[in-house]
Structure 1
Amino acid sequence: MKRAFLRIAGYISIAGTMLYGYLIAKGLNGWGRLLSVDPILIPLLLAGLFLSVYVHLLLHEGGHFLFGKLSGYQLISFQVRRFKYRQADHSLRRMQTASPLLAGQCLMAPPKADYAEVPFRGYLLGGILANALTGACLYSAAFLMDLREGAVMVLFSFVPVWMALSNFFPKGQNDGAVLKEASRSLPARQLLLQQLEMAQLIEAEVPFTDLPDAYFACLGEARYEKSFLIDYFYMVAYVRALGNLDFEEADSLLWAFSAHRPVKESVYWPIYLMESLFCDALFGRIGTAEEKYSQIQAQPLLKRYWNANNRIRAAYAFFCRTEIEEAKRLLSQGSAADETDAEEVDKSTEARLVQWLKGYFE
């Protein structure tokens, strides 16, 4: 909490310094003109600032694309909120559901070379540089304008500057955190590049069960467990086990994940909690499943994931609550994969699991 407060205070200080510097450069002679703004323009200005976030998201992901191409990477998919372009079939679609944690993403496959020789900094820094340059241009343009119009331009320069800073300083698994992690060691860099390679296969609709076993050799090795980039591999390996209906292996993967990694700090925490509840239900750990269900219902973000997955809800209804009709109703609505394009969901696996659960009622 203290760190978050200091980060917000830092952003406010930078914004204040930018505005003060602009006013000083203009001589502060027209300060009264800034205060005499027509009130009806204020909501329009706020709406414009809000909409500009989407413009700068597009520029941010475009920066990743540009610097990725310059580094020899190939586009896999390009996403801004619910709109996603897939290179595999050259399609642009509006997704029915999208992760609330994902504002945008430009996935690119690295060039074929030894992992130690593949460039990665340009690709990871591209979005930050795009936002920083846009912010600098907008701020510089303000000095060429009249005081009032220039002050508005300064306000609009805050958005790309804020995005550049929030992605540059390591936090969670943002660009800065991934860059720092990949720069720390060759094993961490290998995890990053292999994740991108797997993403290319998944976007080409290769079933998770057909992904090369070599990508999962890192699981259980101490040198990889230190990196948060291993989290993705646990999640994909878990889905592979589900695809083979190997529930014991799937359950053991989740246990290993929680034993080796600070799961609550992972971006995959919501998915882990849902899937661990699913396994708890299958293996009769009813008390644990009910505790997790209560936790899910108390948090809006987790509840959103819960409502999007009929397979997990049906398993909980049947194995924990013995609500057979409710389980049938949920399964009749189809699988989560029918309405999502999330990378962590394998459509063939979800469909097979739904059919497996339906087998209890046939």
Structure 2
Amino acid sequence: MSQKETKKKKIGQILIPVCFVLIGAACGILFMKFLDGPETAGASRGDKILKILVALVSMCAALILQIIIHEAGHLVFGLLTGYRFISFRVSSFMWMKDDDRIRFKRMSIAGTGGQCLMAPPDLKDGKMPVQLYNYGGAIMNLIASAISGGLVLLCPAGSLFRPFLLMMLVTGIAYALMNGLPLRMSLANNDGRNAWDLARSPEAVRAFWTTMKMNELSARGVCLRDMPEEWFAVPDEEGMKNGITSSLGAVACSRLMEQGRFEEADALMERLLSQNNGIPGVLRKMLVCDRLYVELIRENRPEALEALRTKDQLKFMKSMKKYPSVLRTEYAYALLAEKDPEKAQTVMEAFEKAARTYPNPNDITIERELMETAREAAAV
């Protein structure tokens, strides 16, 4: 990554914690004002404890509700511009369209508090609406914040509902800024950055459409290896600098993995990871996870495994410990590096538990095939 892009990424990494500190500070000030208001004078100990609980619950509820509102913004503005619903996730709780039914699933992705996936409208002359869909979450946070601010003016000073409205006002503005300003962050680019990348590059719009079509087909049970081959052309070096377009390079590696073309996958992953490109952090970490797996089933060199299993990589994999491909790699590591069948069995049980609620059964099928490949390698 260039010095300029690295600087932008560092700004994003700094601004997000600063926003959370400011949210905490603002909520703390509101919290103290609520507790020290004139209506509290002479209040009983029980009433004061009740007000403390109300303030704490209000802060937590506002934080969670603004995440839901944010993802609902993507959904609403997506539907208004021709997108179709696929799934809606808050934290690890996910609701997914399956034929004509909505089913509950579980999945979490590091660096994201939620996600609304939608199928894109058709491209027309290489174009499609992208700005409202990407900015929809921040717009909805601002709307919720404005409504909360208006209701505060109508709410009596001593009302137990007032702290919730005030915290909705603060968190809505903060979430809008964190997601609306174009920022590169350590694991994932925010909505504003995606919108910025899309506005600057027609190729990024096509890549965005392609990625969303992949999500749509994956939700229908289609594996990457069965999707059109032309979707997986790796962008050139200039194209790989764009945060949207570069994702196609990462997903091309995943397709090679599904096809069992491990040597080609490893060579491509090594090349992409050595470039100064725009691949989002979470995808870079997943590429390293796949490189670990390939090293394990092929040469299984301790020094190569040590180089890949950095402290930062292990921390990421721990944060994604219920994700199928991470569990698959941990399974292979237990079998082939640690030579510990009992630990491998424990990882397998965790995998099967995660598989029961994972949204895409086709991914589970692929991961089971890769785990079987690891077992065969261990038996040699």
Alignment TM class, shorter chain as reference: 0.7 to 0.9
Q: Which moved more, 1:125-134 or 1:230-239?
A: 230-239
User: For the residues of structure 1 that align with 2:219 and 2:238, how far apart are their CA atoms?
Assistant: 28
Counterpart position of 2:123: 113
Map 1:9-158 onto structure 2 (within 5 A): 32-33=37-38, 36=41, 38-114=48-124, 116-149=126-159, 152=163, 153-158=165-170
SS at match of 1:346: helix
TM-score by length of 1: 0.83
Match of 2:175 among 141, 160, 163: 163
Task: Give the corresponding residue for 1:350.
Answer: 367
2:6 is matched with: none
Give the superposition deviation at 1:33. 1.9
Residue 147 of structure 1, CA deviation: 2.9
Residues 180 and 40 (structure 1), Cα distance of their counterparts in 2 relative to 1, 3 Å cut: same
> Which deviates more, 228-237 or 60-69?
228-237
Structure 1 pair 269–336 and aligned structure 2 pair: CA distance change class (3 A): farther
Between the aligned partners of 2:367 and 2:28, the Cα distance in structure 1 is 52
**Structure 2: which amino acid aligns with 1:70?**
L
SS at match of 1:268: helix
Distance 2:361 2:245 in 1: 14
Q: CA deviation at 1:180?
A: 0.7
Question: For residues 321 and 11 of structure 1, what CA distance do their matches in structure 2 show?
Answer: 40
Which one of 218, 239, 247 corresponds to residue 262 of structure 2? 247
* Shift in Å, 1:103: 1.7
Amino acid at match of 2:275: H
Check if 1:269 corresponds to 2:281: no
- Distance in 2 between the 1:345 and 1:305 partners? 19
Contact kept, 8 Å, 2:105 with 2:359, in 1: the verdict is no
| 1:256-302 superposed Cα distances (whole Å, 9 cap, x missing partner) | 22023458952223312321211222332321212433526862x43
Helix, strand or coil for the counterpart of 2:154? Answer: coil
1:76 & 1:294 partners in 2: Cα distance? 35
CA distance in 2, matches of 1:288, 1:34: 66
CA distance in 2, matches of 1:112, 1:354: 37
Residue segments in structure 1 that go unaligned for 5+ positions in a row: 21-27
Letter paired with 2:67? L
Q: 2:219 touches 2:359 (CA, 8 Å); kept in 1? A: no
1:25 alignment counterpart: none
- The secondary structure found in structure 1 opposite 2:109 is coil
Q: Deviations over 1:116-151 (max 9, x none)?
A: 431111111111111101101111221223234485
Q: Structure 1 residues 306 and 123 mapped into 2: Cα distance closer, same or farther (>3 Å)?
A: closer
Q: Secondary structure at the match of 1:356?
A: helix
Q: CA deviation digits over 1:151-193, x for unaligned, max 9?
A: 5222331122211111111223111110111111111222112
Q: CA deviation at 1:224?
A: 1.6
Deviation of residue 326 (structure 1)? 4.5
Amino acid at match of 1:161: I
- The answer to whether the 8 Å contact 2:93/2:106 transfers is no
Judged with a 3 Å threshold, the aligned counterparts in structure 2 of structure 1 residues 13 and 295 are, in CA distance, closer, same or farther, namely closer
Residues 311 and 336 of structure 1 are in contact (CA less than 8 Å); yes or no, is this contact kept in structure 2?
Answer: no
My pick for the range that moved more, 220-229 or 191-200, is 220-229
Does residue 1:184 correspond to 2:206, yes or no? no
Partners in 1 of 2:269 and 2:313 — Cα distance? Answer: 21
What residue in structure 2 maps to residue 321 of structure 1? 338
Identity of aligned residues (%): 23
RMSD across aligned positions (CA)? 3.6
AA in 2 matched with 1:313: E
Q: Distance in 1 between matches of 2:359 and 2:250?
A: 13
Aligned pair partner of 2:328 in 311, 332, 339: 311
Q: Relative to structure 1, is the Cα distance of residues 32 and 105 closer, same or farther in structure 2, using a 3 angstrom cutoff?
A: closer
CA separation in 2, counterparts of 1:14 and 1:352?
A: 46
Larger RCO (CA within 8 A; separation ≥ 6): 2
C-alpha distance in 2, partners of 1:310/1:10?
A: 33
Most deviating of 232-241 and 206-215:
232-241
1:282 pairs with one of 275, 297, 300: 297
